[in-house]
Every structure is written in C-alpha cells, then in structure tokens.
Structure 1
Amino acid sequence: MSASCHEPPPYDLVIGGGLLVHPHRSVPVSGDVAVRDGRVEAVITPGSADARCGRFLDARGLLVTPGLIDLHTHVYDGRTGLGTPADTVGVEAGVTTLVDAGSVGCDSFAHFDATVVATGSTRILSWLNISRHGLTRGTRELAERDSIRHAETVRTILENPATIRGVKVRMSRSVVGDNGLEPLRAAKRVTAEVAAATGRPFPVMVHVGNAPPALGDVFDLLEAGDVVTHAFHGKRGGLFPAAGSGPISQALAAVRRGVRLDLGHGSASFAFDTMERALEAGIGPHTISTDIHQENVAGPVRGLTTTMTKMLALGLTLNETVRAATSAAAETIGLDGELGTLAVGSVADLTVLDLAEGATRLVDAEGRTRTAEALLTPVATVRAGVVHDIRKATE
C-alpha cells in the first residue's frame, strides 16, 4: 500500500486517491491529505504529491474519513470482566480514539492510566465512573451508598484533564439498587465543580436501561452537552411509552435543550425497531458508539464500522453516519477542531474505509435483523500520522 518517494519530502505522508468524507459536507469529494509532524498539513489536488512525500498511502477506490471515535467502550483489559484489548477494537479496527465508559473510578484510574492509556497505539480517553470502584468489583457499582467519593473524584479529574473527558453514571435498576436518582445527582455535582474549576463544560454520560429510575426523571436532570447512552434500547420504559406513541415528552424537551442521544449498542441496548421509530420522530443519534466489550465483540456488535453500517441500513446518509462517529463525538468530549476533522492543523487521525457493495445481514441486540446493501470495512488507520495497515495485517 506504500511506495518509495525520490525527492526530499515536504510531507511525511500523503493519503491519496480516495474520496474524502468531510463530516459537514453532503457528499464525498476528491482530494489527497498531506501529513507532517503528526498533523494535517494540507488537503491537495489528487495525485499532485505522490512523488514528493515520505510515504504514499494508496486509497484509490476507498473512502477517507477523519479518524473514527468510539465514544463508549470498555478496554480495561484484565482488571474488569468486560475489558477487551484496546488496539484490537481500536487502530486494528479502523478506530483512532476509544473513550472508555466507566470501567474505572477514582480508586483505579492511576493503574488504568499506566497500563492502558500509556500503552498501545490507540488514543484512550475516559468517562470516569462516579463510583470509586468503576467496574473492577462487578456491575453493581452503585448499589452501596458509600461507593461515591466526591472530593477524590473531582481531584482525579482535575489532575488528568487531557484523558478524563466526562463522568459516567449507570442509571438502571440492576446497578443503583435502592439509591434512585442520587448517583446521577452526585455525578452532576461533580461535573458542576469541575466545570467551575476549568472554565469549560464537563458532561455526564448516563447509561439507561430498565427502570427504576424512570427514564423521564433521568432526562429532567440533564443539561446541554450531557449524553444519554443506550438511548435506543428496546426494553420497557424506553423512549416510547406505548406501541404507536411518540417519544416521551421529557426526551423531546431534553433534546431541544442540547442533551445528546448516543447509540451505545452493547449486548442488550440497541433495537432496530426503536431506532426506526426515533428517526421517524426526528430524534436520531447524535453519536454512534458500540459499548464494545468481551461479551459482544464477536457479535452482535463486532465493531464501530459494523455499527455504522447498521445506521446506513436504517437510512442515514454516509456523511451523517461518519459525522456521528467523528466530529459529533469530538464535540461531545470537548475536542472538536482537534479530532474528528480533516481540517488543516488538526491531528492527523484518519480512517480509510471500503464501502463494499453486496447484501449483508445485520443483527441488533434483540436478535432482529436488517439487510444492508453495502458494508463499511476498515482498510487502514492513521493515528497521529502513523499508518496501521489493517488489510496487510490480516493477509
């Protein structure tokens, strides 16, 4: 996929010959992306730099997007039951940035930082769990009232601002026990203190599932920039209170004030039927994420590009789908302009994709199926200017 160049290179790398999928344009456009010192140096006329670069990555017949960002993952491998190796679902799967969603809390963040964030090739960020234990002691991390340490959580966030991008709280019956809405209120107190200390918005990501607490009550506590993940599950007590009804009023009000709905596929948290009803009601996903972990990486999730393909099958355009896995995700974690874009000066994180035609059977978390007319598959990942050739690695 590469060729030697014969002149002193003005660029370290050129990704050339592909169609560029800019998140905020309606259709892909021709162009080559030139990289220098780990950043996008220029977007140039196709073919104009093939012989003047340090390396040429041939993307002919392929799509070139900003580096994919998976906003909801579990990659604390070995220390939690769900953790999966980061690079396996990261750069080896076309994803440049993984945001671990609450695997760790303040007690274990330092170990996570040293053993996961600082190792491997994929960029790892974190939604810090409001529970001090995260998922290191199982999945009922909020059932005990003394699991939340406000001061220690705030201090951990303020000491690690580059990595910790928000707070995660899981608000479903099996997690919170008898604590009701208090864990979410505690998370909001933490994010308010962090926002005041840093001068920038600091979001909460809320996992929703089986009630109690009621979904409407959860929405009522959220503000602009906060995220509801698993928003399109098919369980009782979700977005739609009854067959044939519209979405619950609290969800509509929350979306209007800027609360973001995240797909968060997972093993039991994404239903084609729910997503189709939501799209008809005009409240599709702001972001597309996987909730990928050990128990679903072999199916039904498989990876971010498969999850994106499911949204293509439900009618989202290619650009809408890419936006939800790039620029919208970057905005959510406060890194817009730095990640999730092909703009000059941004980090040179890119994904090269093949949109291969042919009917593909897709399965949601409830075992229901849809058929896609084409499948997005990763061919190469460029992480801060470094190429990870997926196709060559699997040959």
Structure 2
Amino acid sequence: MAVHSAPSAGPQRFDLVVSGGLLADPLSPEPFAGDLAVRDGRIAAIGEPGTLAGRERVDATGLLVAPGLIDLHSHVYAPRTSLGVPADTVGVEQGVTTVVDAGSCGSDHWDDFAGNVVTVAATRVLSWLNISRHGLVHGRTELAGGPGDIDEAATEKLLREHPDRVRGVKVRMSSSVLGDSGLEPLRAAKRVAARVGRPVMVHVGNEPPRLADVLDLLGEGDVVTHAFHGKPGGLFGSEDAARRAVARGVRLDVGHGSASLNFATAERALAAGFFPHTISTDVHVGNVEGPVHSLVTTLNKLLGLGLDPHQVIRCATLHPAQVLGMDDELGTLRVGGAADLTLLRLVERTAVLTDADGDTRTTHTQMEAARTVRAGRLHTPGTSTG
C-alpha cells in the first residue's frame, strides 16, 4: 500500500486523502466505498470514491478504513510499574490510536505519569485513575492496607483538573488485591466518580467479594473488565445480578490479560446473551508476547468465537469512545472528529489462537493492522499485530 505525493494544496485540497477502501464507520450498518480526507488533524470530508484530492494519498484498496482503535484497558506506565509497556509499542505500532491506562497510576504519581508517558507518546494516552493513591507503583496489593491507601480528595481533584486525560476511576475488586478491605474501595470509587460524573472500571477476578455484590453497586456507564474469565464464581455464579446490571447499563469488557479471557466462558456467555460491549487487552509485560500480543489479536479471538468484523470494530471504536464520553471526538468517521484511523486487512488464513488459560480455537478469517493514522499523521504498524 503506497502513499502518493500530490501537488501543493489548493483551496479544495486536503493534507491527506485515504482512498480505495471501504469506510467501516460503526454508525453505518455496513462498510461502504468512499474517500476520506484529513486537514489539520481532523476528518475534513467524506466523498464518493475518487472525488477528493490531497497533498498525500493513501491507497487503501482492499482494506477496511476504521476509526482509530481504542484499547480501553492497558498498562503503559513504564518503567515505574512492573507491568508497564511503552504506549507506542502497543499503540500506533499495533494499529491502536488510543490506549487507556487502567489504574497503573494513582493520585500520588499522576504528575510523573503525565510527564513521562502521556505527553511523550504519539499514541493518545488516557487514564482510569486508580482509587488507590499508589496505583501499581508499589506492587499489586494496592488496596490491602486499608483506608490509608485511598485519598478521595486527591483523586477527585485530578479528575476535575485533567478532564481531557483522566476519564474515570479504576478499582480492582479481587481477593488478591483487597486484603480485608472488602467492598469499601468500590464504594469510595463510586463516591468520587459520582461527584464528577465519570464512570468506574471494576476489575473482577477471584472472590471474595462475590461478583453479585460488586455488580449491585454499579450503575449506568460503569465497566466490568475481565467479565469473561474462567475463575470460580464469575459471570455464571452471579447470572441474575449480571442480567440486572446489564439492564441498568453496566458495560461488560473483555480485558483479556494473562488470566481473564476464557474461550469456554465467552462461548457460554454469548449463547446466554451476554455480549462484550467493549473488547480490550489488559496488555502488560507479562502477556504482550503471548497470549495477548495486541488488540487486533484480541479482536481476532472474538471473531473466532462468532462475532463479525463490523461488531468487533464497533467494540473497539464507538463503544469505548462512548464509555469515555468522547464519542463526539473518537470512535466514528464523523466529519470534524479526530483524524485517528486504523486501516485493517481481512485475510483468509487458518490460525490457532490461545486464550488466557491455554485453551485454543482454530480460526480461518483474521484482521491485520495495515496502517495507522493518528491526528492526521501516518504510522506503519509492525509485524506484532498478527
């Protein structure tokens, strides 16, 4: 796929035109042929095939032109945490234009995170700020110390001062994290988030607390990540509470991770009508070489479980943008929105994909990230997106 130079821009010319592909706008029922033009880092126009001209041209023949992929759950606070990977390594270099760090950072370390991660990455980096003031800087039991681990006022202050970057509150509600803290960290996260009108992302895993008790505290717009894990309890230990929560507008997120996407659980969930609202990776140093690899690989696993390409694209574009309250800016091909694009190639190829528990499924159709446009600038993904 080539990028072609064009004559100097005149009044009707744009900075960049992507042509020849199918525009996979999640707001459209299916992809459609068309040109997409970029000016000053924004989507400036959509036209019939061959009708727009720009200083640069991307030939997207044979590709899906999707909004930039959004990874709603990642860990990119490197090197201050043991989990952190460089944002661009799992971002623009893998076809992902926005990563949301899910609780690596708490209120104590926001300035360091902002200065050394957020402002230096080509990828857009947003944050679910950990309700623990320490985040994951001192390890993975950040809520086991009791009330002293939480500073509600400092967390709220950062949510108010940095609304463009801090989009919600993260809390990890599993026994290995909490010690004797019980449900109180979740209640604290909900209090803070409610005061600023932002959602909470809740990590679920090993009980206690019971998933049903966690779900009963959540409301519209909140996110349950690791919803399809295969650990004891889980979705099918609290099915009635899960149905009530989904009916209230609680969102189920994949959050693949090292132990949290189980094919059998996901298949059972899909059959029972529990569909992922968002598909994310929980990518970190312990799983980026496998089984997670990338967001595109995670999307391929959901393709292998029966979702279609337009569904999985929606779960990694429009839906996370809505969760973040940024769907006027991200997640669609709307004129005026950010010129964040992921060009995807659908290939017919047999592959064996592995879940977080070592189980496998064979697939015959996969997506590959062929090109990334972030704020109007082109990036070429590496080979790690397979």
**Are 1:236 and 2:221 an aligned pair?**
no
Contact kept in structure 1, 2:93 and 2:382, CA below 8 Å: no
State the alpha-carbon separation in 1 of the partners of residues 231 and 319 from structure 2.
Answer: 26
Q: Which residue of 1 aligns with 2:222?
A: 226
State whether residues 76 and 284 of structure 2, in contact with CA within 8 Å, keep that contact through their aligned partners in structure 1. yes
| Alignment match, 2:105 | 104
- 5+ residue gaps, structure 2, are none
Q: Secondary structure at the match of 1:107?
A: helix
How many pairs does the alignment contain? 381
Deviates more, 1:299-308 or 1:382-391: 382-391
Map residues 191-230 of structure 1 onto 2, 5 A cutoff.
Answer: 191-195=193-197, 202-230=198-226
Tell me the residue number matched to 1:199: none
1:36 aligns with 2:39: yes
Q: Find 2:318's aligned residue among 313, 321, 327.
A: 327
Deviates more, 1:35-44 or 1:70-79: 35-44
Deviates more, 1:108-117 or 1:26-35: 26-35
Q: 2:27 aligns with which of 24, 36, 43?
A: 24
- Which stretch of structure 1 is more off in the superposition, 3-12 or 264-273? 3-12
SS of residue in 1 equivalent to 2:17: strand
How far apart in 2 are the matches of 1:357 and 1:165?
38
| Ranges of 4+ aligned residues in structure 1 off by more than 3 Å | 391-394
Distance 1:298 1:379 in 2: 20
Aligned-pair CA distance for 1:232: 0.4
Partner in structure 2 of residue 77 of structure 1: 78
Give the distance between the partners of 1:277 and 1:144, measured in 2 at CA: 37
Does the CA-based 8 Å contact 1:354-1:378 persist in structure 2? yes
- Hey, what's the Cα distance between the residues in 2 that align with 1:157 and 1:332? 16
Q: Percent identity?
A: 57
Distance in 2, matches of 1:188 and 1:111, equals: 25
Contact 1:14 1:55 in 2 (8 A): yes
The answer to whether the 8 A contact 1:18-1:60 is kept is yes
State the Cα distance separating 1:374 from its structure 2 match: 1.5
| 1:193-225 Cα deviation digits (max 9, x unpaired) | 222xxxxxx100000000000000000000000
Tell me by how many angstroms 1:63 deviates.
Answer: 1.1
Shift of 1:393: 11
- What does the per-residue CA deviation read over 1:251-280, in whole Å, with 9 as the maximum and x for residues that have no partner? 000000100000000000110111111111
2:245 pairs, out of 244, 254, 264, with 254
Partner in structure 2 of residue 114 of structure 1: 115
Q: Which residue of 2 aligns with 1:144?
A: 145
- Structure 2: how far apart are the matches of 1:188 and 1:313? 35
* Structure 1 CA distance for aligned equivalents of residues 382 and 172 of structure 2: 37
What displacement does 1:392 show? 10
Go from structure 1 to structure 2 and tell me whether the alpha carbon gap of 1:267 and 1:393 turns closer, same or farther (over 3 Å shift): closer
Contact 1:380 1:391 in 2 (8 A): no
| Residue aligned with 1:72, SS | strand
Amino acid in the other structure paired with 2:253: D
Give 3-state SS (helix, strand or coil) of 2:45's partner: strand
SS in 2 for 1:187: helix
Report SS of the residue matched to 2:235: coil
Instruction: Report 1:1-395 matches (<5 A).
Output: 1-9=2-10, 10-49=13-52, 52-145=53-146, 146-195=148-197, 202-241=198-237, 248-390=239-381
- CA displacement, residues 358-383 of structure 1 (integer Å, 9 cap, x when unaligned): 11110000100111112211111100
Q: TM-score, normalised by structure 1?
A: 0.94
Q: Please say if residues 18 and 61 of structure 1, whose CA atoms lie closer than 8 Å, have aligned partners that are also in contact.
A: yes
Q: Is the 8 A contact 1:24 1:319 kept in 2?
A: no
Q: How far 1:27 moved relative to its partner?
A: 2.2
CA distance in 2: counterparts of 1:236 and 1:120, whole angstroms? 38
